[in-house]
Chain A
Amino acid sequence: MLKTINLKKVYPNGEEALKGINLEIPNGQVVALIGPSGAGKSTFIRTINRLVEPTSGKVYFANKKNDITSLNKSKLRKIRRQIGMIFQEFALVERLSVMENVLSGRLGYVGFWNSFFRKFPQKDIEEAFRLLQRIGLEHMLDKRADELSGGQRQRVGIARALIQNPMLLLVDEPTASLDPKNSRQIMRLICELCKERNLAAIINIHDVFLAQNFAERIIGLKAGEIVYDGKPSGLSETILTKIYGEEDWSKNVAN
Chain B
Amino acid sequence: MPIIKQKDYKTWKKFDRKRDLQNWLCWFLGTLIFSFCFGLISSKTIWFYVFDSHNEALDLLGRMFPPETNYFFTLIKPIWDTLNIATIGTTIGTLIAIPLAFLSANNTTPSKKFIRPLALFCIVSSRSINSVIWALLLVAVVGPGVLAGIIAIGLRSIGFCGKLLYEAIEEIDENQIEAIEATGANKAQIMTFGIVPQILPAFTSISIYRWDINIREATVVGLVGAGGIGIELDAQIGDLAWAKVSVILLAIVVAVVFSEWITAKIRKAII
Residues of A near any B CB (own CB < 8 A)? 49, 51, 77-81, 83-85, 87, 89, 91-96, 100, 104-109, 112, 115-116, 157, 160, 164, 170
Contact = CB atoms under 8 A, between A and B. Distances in A.
Contact of A96 (B181, B186, B193, B201): B193
Nearest to A95: B197
Contacts, number: 80
B189 A115 contact: yes
B186 A81 contact: no
Contacts of B198: 93-95
A85 B182 contact: yes
Given A91-B175, A91-B176, A112 B183 contact: no
A76 to B, nearest CB: 8
11 contacts: A77-B184, A87-B178, A92-B179, A93-B197, A94-B173, A95-B201, A105-B183, A107-B184, A107-B185, A108-B185, A112-B188
Interface of B: 173, 175-176, 178-186, 188-189, 192-194, 197-198, 200-201
B197 A96 contact: yes
Contacts of B175: 87, 89, 91
A160 B180 CA distance: 10
Q: Which of A87, A91, A105, A116 has the most CB of B within 10 A?
A: A91
A78 B173 CA distance: 25
A85 B183 CA distance: 8
B90 to A, nearest CB: 24
Contacts of B181: 51, 80
Interface majority SS on B: helix, strand, loop or mixed? Answer: helix
Given A93-B193, A93-B194, A85 B179 contact: yes
A93 B180 contact: yes
A80 B175 CA distance: 16
A94 B182 contact: no
Contact of A164 (B173, B184, B188): B184
A83 B186 CA distance: 15
A110 B163 CA distance: 33
A84 B181 CA distance: 11
The 5 closest A-B pairs by CB, nearest first: A108-B184, A107-B185, A80-B184, A91-B179, A81-B184
Given A104-B183, A107-B183, A107-B184, A94 B192 contact: no
B116 to A, nearest CB: 19
Contact of B176 (A51, A81, A84, A92): A92
A170 B178 CA distance: 13
B188 A107 contact: no
B142 to A, nearest CB: 36
B194 to A, nearest CB: 6
B208 to A, nearest CB: 18
B184 A115 contact: no
A49 B179 CA distance: 11
Contacts of A108: 183-185
Contact of A107 (B176, B193, B200): B193
B186 A112 contact: yes
Contact of B192 (A79, A115, A170): A115
B193 A95 contact: no
Given A93-B197, A115-B189, A115-B192, A104 B178 contact: no
A49 B200 CA distance: 29
Contacts of B185: 77, 104, 107-108, 115
Contacts of A170: 182
A80 B182 contact: yes
A104 B180 contact: yes
Contacts of A104: 180, 183, 185, 193
Contacts of A100: 193
A100 B182 CA distance: 16
Given A94-B176, A112-B188, A112-B189, A164 B183 contact: yes
Contact of B182 (A51, A109, A115): A51
B186 A77 contact: yes
